[in-house]
């Protein structure tokens, strides 16, 4: 029990430190690293062979994903985006019809754009699963551990993927180099990602 409390305290202080680091990033630097990562994604073997891709719509302190989303449609892949249930840690990945649709999506109280709760959309796991999941996060280490924002949405979703599809989706995290930590504190509920992409990776 004491260990769990220690991990949660360590996560809290690391989250605060990372948020500060991210606030210090200029808009130009954010876009420079985002563009560089998009190029890495386009040549990535897992991206090239995937047909069904889930990607997050970026918040101001995350790698900008718009360029990748446009390419997913250009390549004729199927694109899914998260729809969070704010009152729980349940998240679905729902199909996005076109990149233009993003501008019309309502914003949640967290200021995240996502389709409305009542909108009936194709959900990835009920129609064939996912090949590749782009995973957001606040911090990562070189052992592929991830520090999320504390709600557990992605950890829970990745566990659901394992139960509902035969082949595990490849998980690729997109990070600013400022988000790479020496060691991310983890507990037994935290799911590692397969790979963390950042400028020097």
Handedness of CA 166, 170, 173, 174 (dihedral sign): negative
**What values do phi and psi take at 37, rounded to 5?**
-70, -35
154 is in an annotated binding site: yes
Question: Can you name the residues that pair with 174 across neighbouring β-strands?
Answer: 197
d(CA 183, CA 11): 11
**Selected residue with higher pLDDT from 4 and 45:** 45
Nearest alpha-carbon partner for 138 in 149, 128, 130: 149
Give tens-digit pLDDT for 43-64. Answer: 999 999 999 999 999 988 999 9
Residue 177 has what pLDDT? 97
- Distances from the Cα of 169 to the Cα of 92, 154, 163, 173, angstroms: 15, 13, 12, 13
Instruction: Flag whether 153 is marked binding.
Output: yes
For residue 121, say whether it is annotated as part of any ligand binding site: no
Q: Is 46 annotated as a binding residue?
A: no
107 is in an annotated binding site: no
Quote the pLDDT of residue 132.
98
Dihedral over Cα of 74, 113, 36, 15: its sign: negative
Of residues 89 and 156, more confidence is placed in 156
CATH superfamily of the domain spanning 2-197 = NagB/RpiA/CoA transferase-like (3.40.50.10420)
Whole-model pTM?
A: 0.94
14 a known binding residue?
yes
Distance CA 57, CA 96 (A): 11
| pLDDT tens readout for residues 80-139 | 999 999 888 899 999 999 999 999 999 888 888 999 888 889 999 999 999 999 999 999
15 is in an annotated binding site: yes
Domain definitions of the chain by residue range: 2-197
Q: Is 23 annotated as a binding residue?
A: no
Q: Is 150 annotated as a binding residue?
A: yes
CB atoms within 10 A of CB 47: 22
What is the enclosing helix (H) or strand (E) of 83?
strand 78-84
User: Is 13 among the annotated ligand-binding positions?
Assistant: yes
Per the annotation, does 149 bind a ligand? yes
The reply to whether 198 sits in an annotated binding site is: no
DSSP assigned state of 1: -
> Residues 69, 16, 21, 40: is their CA dihedral positive or negative?
negative
Q: Is 117 annotated as a binding residue?
A: no
- The reply, when asked if residue 57 is annotated as ligand binding, is yes
């Amino acid at each position: 029990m004491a260990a769990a409390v220690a991990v949660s305290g360590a996560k809290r202080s690391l989250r605060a430190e990372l948020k500060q680091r991210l606030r210090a990033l200029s808009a130009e630097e954010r876009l420079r690293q985002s563009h560089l990562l998009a190029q890495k994604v386009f040549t990535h073997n897992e991206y090239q062979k995937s047909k069904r891709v889930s990607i997050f719509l970026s918040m101001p302190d995350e790698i900008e994903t718009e360029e990748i989303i446009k390419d997913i449609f250009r390549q004729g892949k199927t694109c899914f985006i998260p729809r969070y249930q704010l009152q729980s840690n349940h998240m679905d990945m729902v199909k996005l019809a076109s990149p233009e649709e993003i501008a019309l999506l309502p914003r949640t109280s967290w200021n995240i754009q996502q389709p409305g709760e009542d909108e009936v959309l194709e959900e990835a796991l009920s129609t064939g699963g996912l090949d590749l999941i782009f995973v957001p996060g606040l911090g990562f280490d070189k052992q592929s551990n991830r520090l999320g924002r504390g709600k557990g949405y992605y950890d829970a979703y990745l566990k659901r993927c394992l139960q509902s599809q035969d082949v595990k989706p490849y998980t690729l995290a997109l990070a600013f180099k400022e988000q790479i930590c020496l060691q991310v504190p983890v507990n037994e509920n935290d799911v590692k990602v397969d790979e963390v992409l950042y400028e020097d990776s």
